[in-house]
Amino acid sequence: MQIEPVLLPDFIRAINETIDKNADEVTALDQEIGDGDHVFNLKRGLHALSEQSTELAGLDWAAALQKIGMILMSTIGGASGSLYGTLFVTMSKTAKGKPMALKTFADAFSQGVESVKSRGRAGAGEKTMLDVLIPVAEKLQASAEADVPLPDLLESLAQTAVQGMESTRDMVATKGRASFLGERTKGHIDAGARTAQLMICSIIDVLSQRSASPS
Ligand code: ADP
Ligand code: MG
């Protein structure tokens, strides 16, 4: 299955729906160890993407990813705004001039996640969105290299995202606002990890439905 930017409106719609549906739960998580604004910040960015979704669908991947990054950077705010902005702008640079085969996408996503690590000066195990993004990037790379069939790949990516999100529960936050609470962050899932997982899983759902019913 070829994945083209024409699918972006479907992805954006699915992501908006899942964040709306889970907004109260995520806000409760963020109120426990953050300042409670994470969903509000994210929604501002996702709403801006919805408004531009027709235009995004008409661009090539590099241009679409660049535009997504710029929109997110200027609308989300908070720590997550610059981190998501960096993710997509770096993905755009890696994808430039190449057809978007799975391996190219995996490389672009991995480079994007590397740039989030540098921008946030953070790594795995610090109780952030990176505890979802890093294992998903690694699984995607490994699956692209091993030529795993698409339905299996999608299922294992979704499982990896959920495991990553759940793994933040037992971690002590060492980055971002939550780090001020230190040991008291144990026992709470990180809100940014939860939204990263929800967004990744909603894209996977769209792709699973398409691969099950080829048009
Ligand atoms: P803020 O913390 O500025 O209010 P948000 O509420 O929008 O920003 O986002 C908080 C989320 O951002 C956290 O739950 C965490 O997942 C993520 N985050 C915070 N700091 C970092 C960092 N240095 N590296 C990676 N992710 C981070
Ligand atoms: Mg916040």
| CA 164–ligand 2 middle distance (angstroms) | 20
- Closest-lying ligand 1 atom to the alpha carbon of residue 37: 6
Crossing angle for the helix pair 191-212 and 23-33, nearest 10 degrees?
150
Count CB neighbours of 206 within 10 A.
18
pTM for this prediction: 0.97
Q: What is the pLDDT of residue 2?
A: 67
H-type alpha helices, the chain: 8-21, 23-33, 38-51, 53-57, 61-75, 78-95, 102-120, 130-146, 150-167, 191-212
| CA 177–ligand 2 middle distance (angstroms) | 7
Spell out, as residue ranges, where the chain has pLDDT lower than 70: 1-2, 214-215
Q: What is the pLDDT of residue 213?
A: 77
Rounded alpha-carbon distances, angstroms, from residue 198 to 45, 85, 166, 179, 193: 15, 18, 12, 23, 9
Nearest C-alpha to atom 9 of ligand 1 is from which residue? 80
Q: What is the pLDDT of residue 214?
A: 58
Nearest C-alpha to atom 4 of ligand 1 is from which residue? 78
| CA 49–ligand 2 middle distance (angstroms) | 20
Q: 187: which 2 tokens?
A: 């026992």
Q: What is the pLDDT of residue 211?
A: 84
- Starting from the CA of residue 130, give the closest ligand: 1
